[in-house]
């Protein structure tokens, strides 16, 4: 009776679920969104509807991150005729106006935080004062 020579098992020979010689079993990496239930959506790669990936932006008011479609874009518009140092902020709900934009949750709370912190000037990199009345009208907020 002939006995085959003993061979040493390598990592390629043993099944994935068998433990290694040091007693530690390698765990395969989990795919994104795994372990959160059957209908869970990974918010880092999908928008609120869960249909496609969208970039995220930071609200200048609350500093919270949200999807591009959930925030209101605000741009600076200067009145070149009068030469006024005050810059008017314009809401850009369609995200089409040219120039640098600041992003804001369309809620009175975030708007008031952004005004109180003077975040629009910093977010838009402006040196002059800003007039926020157009954005307040767009959000339905009464300004004093």
| Sign of the dihedral through C-alpha 132, 134, 138, 143 | positive
Each residue's pLDDT tens digit, 23-53: 665 565 555 544 555 455 455 555 566 666 7
Residue pair 61/113 in contact by the 8 Å Cβ criterion: yes
Q: Is the pLDDT of residue 76 over 90?
A: yes
């Amino acid at each position: 009776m002939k006995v085959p020579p003993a061979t040493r098992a390598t990592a390629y020979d043993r099944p994935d679920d068998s433990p290694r010689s040091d007693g530690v079993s390698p765990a395969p990496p989990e795919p994104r969104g795994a372990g959160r239930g059957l209908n869970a959506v990974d918010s880092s790669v999908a928008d609120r509807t869960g249909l496609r990936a969208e970039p995220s932006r930071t609200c200048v008011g609350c500093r919270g991150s949200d999807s591009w479609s959930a925030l209101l874009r605000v741009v600076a518009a200067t009145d070149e005729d009068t030469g006024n140092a005050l810059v008017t902020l314009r809401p850009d709900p369609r995200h089409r106006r040219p120039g640098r934009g600041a992003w804001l949750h369309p809620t009175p709370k975030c708007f008031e935080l952004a005004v109180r912190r003077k975040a629009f000037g910093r977010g838009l990199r402006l040196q002059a004062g800003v007039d926020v009345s157009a954005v307040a009208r767009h959000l339905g907020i009464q300004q004093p």
